[in-house]
Amino acid sequence: MKGIFPIEKFRELRTPFYYYDTKVLRDTLACIKKEIGRYPNYNVHYAVKANANPKVLTIIRESGLGADCVSGGEIRAAIKAGVAANQIVFAGVGKADWEINLGLEYNIFCFNVESIPELEVINELAAAQGKVAKVAFRINPNVGAHTHANITTGLAENKFGISMQDMETVIDVALTMKHVKFIGLHFHIGSQILDMGDFVALCNRVNELQDRLEARHILVEHINVGGGLGIDYDHPNRQPIPDFKSYFSAYATHLKLRPHQTLHFELGRAVTGQCGTLISKVLYVKKGANKQFAILDAGMTDLIRPALYQAHHKMENITSDEAMQTYDVVGPICESSDVFGKAVDLNGVKRGDLIALRSAGAYGEIMASSYNCRELPKGYTSEELV
């Protein structure tokens, strides 16, 4: 839909760049707040890894969401955007000492711990600062998710989390330590999940594990079920806001949350995915033996998802009303995998046309690289381009 883009403003900017529709973002955040308002013990921490654009982060912070960080750099970005430290959770299978120390210095809400060696380091570093670190243990629930293999995280074969059979052992170790406080359990089964049955399966597993712990009189204060809710990459205009109602309802219905417990979510893609679009210019239209190529000035350095795990992004020629034709849409990078899509139907393409790659607000700008010594794409909000 060409009408949703300020095309004349786009023509003034150097491509490629990311465009963030702040109305879509704010509407998405309002929907999240409305749905979790039904459940007073629910808290959402935005997964900064999805998009750390400062302007986007500030809008998310203004909505009242906390932050889920997986690096020291993300903690700094969240703090700079104004997120309160007591709303920050720090996850990740390989936290460096300086990152742990940073979290301790800021007195963040919780470390999501993935191994006994990591727990020992956190205890040691907290002791050096004279502090007690609050920790939740990330348990690998061995629950599959209907998504791409590269973005599943909850299977026994994945590198993430502590195995279920080791859960009680790790908790017992933590209870002997003076500078850590065990406060919760953490789970995350994957990303871009659209089948609510996957979340129901996680609920059932969490219920089993809680029953095991309560049999030993171990009470858990916080349950963190991660994120994973997907977006509609095929129809961004028809469904700009994910089905948060069904998502939160699945947990309300199937998770046996105790009265004293708080439930935490770490949503990323579902928050920012649909508000972002990569805008690129057509450099050349190249005729092949049996196909034609639309060669863009954006490449896998600007949006790596299609090359990394064959992700699909809806593409639109927003400066053409010509009859539809079929193209392989490719970038300029010297790699055969630098392909955004094959056999893509677009309004007739010519040099200088602007192509919009939709639903790119998550894992787009944040994953950009300078491979081939290319400049990183800039990001603009709709409020800037009024």
* Per-residue model confidence (pLDDT) at position 386: 84
Q: How many CB atoms lie within 10 A of CB 342?
A: 13
* Per-residue model confidence (pLDDT) at position 146: 46
Average pLDDT over every residue of 181-191: 94
Q: What share of the chain is helix, strand, coil (3-state, %, to 5)?
A: 35, 25, 40
Q: Is the pLDDT of residue 2 over 70?
A: no
The tokens describing 157, both together, are: 């074969």
- Considering only the top CATH level, what class is 274-381? mainly beta
Q: Is the pLDDT of residue 240 over 90?
A: yes
Residue 289: pLDDT band (50, 70, 90) is confident
* Per-residue model confidence (pLDDT) at position 147: 46
* Per-residue model confidence (pLDDT) at position 53: 98
* Per-residue model confidence (pLDDT) at position 145: 55
For 269-295, b where at least 16 C-beta lie within 10 A, e where not — what string? Answer: bbbbbbbbbbbbbbbebeeeeeeebbb
* Per-residue model confidence (pLDDT) at position 382: 97
For 360-381, b where at least 16 C-beta lie within 10 A, e where not — what string? Answer: bbbbbbbbbeeeeebeebebbb
Closest CA to 369 of 324, 338, 342: 338
Q: Which of 138-152, 204-218, 335-349 has the lowest mean pLDDT?
A: 138-152
* Per-residue model confidence (pLDDT) at position 76: 98
Share of the chain above pLDDT 90, in %: 91
Question: Beta strand 110-113 with 88-90: parallel, antiparallel or unpaired?
Answer: parallel
Instruction: Tell me the range of 65-79, 135-149, 158-172 where mean pLDDT is highest.
Output: 65-79
The burial class, CB within 10 Å (0-12 / 13-18 / 19+), for 308 is middle
Question: What is residue 14's DSSP assignment?
Answer: P
Mean pLDDT (the chain, rounded): 94
Structure confidence by residue, pLDDT tens digits, 374-385: 999 999 999 999
Report helix, strand or coil for 267.
Answer: coil
Could you tell me the residue ranges of all domains in the chain?
Answer: 22-272, 274-381
For 210-238, b where at least 16 C-beta lie within 10 A, e where not — what string? Answer: beeeeeeeeebebbbbbbbbbbbbeebee
How many angstroms separate the CA atoms of 141 and 162, rounded? 9
Which long-range contacts link 337-340 to residues 24+ away (Cβ below 8 Å)?
Answer: 337/300, 337/307, 338/299, 338/300, 338/307, 339/306, 339/307, 340/296, 340/298, 340/303, 340/306, 340/313, 340/315
Structure confidence by residue, pLDDT tens digits, 101-153: 999 999 999 999 999 999 999 999 999 999 999 999 999 887 755 444 444 44
Average pLDDT over every residue of 11-38: 98
For the chain, what is the largest distance between any 2 Cα atoms, rounded to a whole number of angstroms?
71
Q: Is the pLDDT of residue 348 over 60?
A: yes
Rounded (5°) CA angle 361-367-372 = 125
Average pLDDT over every residue of 58-78: 98
pTM: 0.94
Closest CA to 89 of 120, 119, 58, 67: 67
Q: Which of 111-120, 159-168, 275-284, 343-352 has the lowest mean pLDDT?
A: 159-168
Structure confidence by residue, pLDDT tens digits, 41-58: 999 999 999 999 999 999
Topology adopted by domain 22-272: TIM Barrel (3.20.20)
Task: Work out the end-to-end distance of the chain between its first and last CA atoms, rounded to an integer number of angstroms.
Answer: 18
* Per-residue model confidence (pLDDT) at position 85: 98
How many angstroms separate the CA atoms of 83 and 103, rounded? 13
Q: Which amino acid is at 321?
A: D
Q: Is the pLDDT of residue 1 over 90?
A: no
Query: From the centroid of its chain, how far is CA 161?
Result: 18
Q: Is the pLDDT of residue 242 over 80?
A: yes
* Per-residue model confidence (pLDDT) at position 144: 58
* Per-residue model confidence (pLDDT) at position 160: 63
Average pLDDT over every residue of 57-77: 98
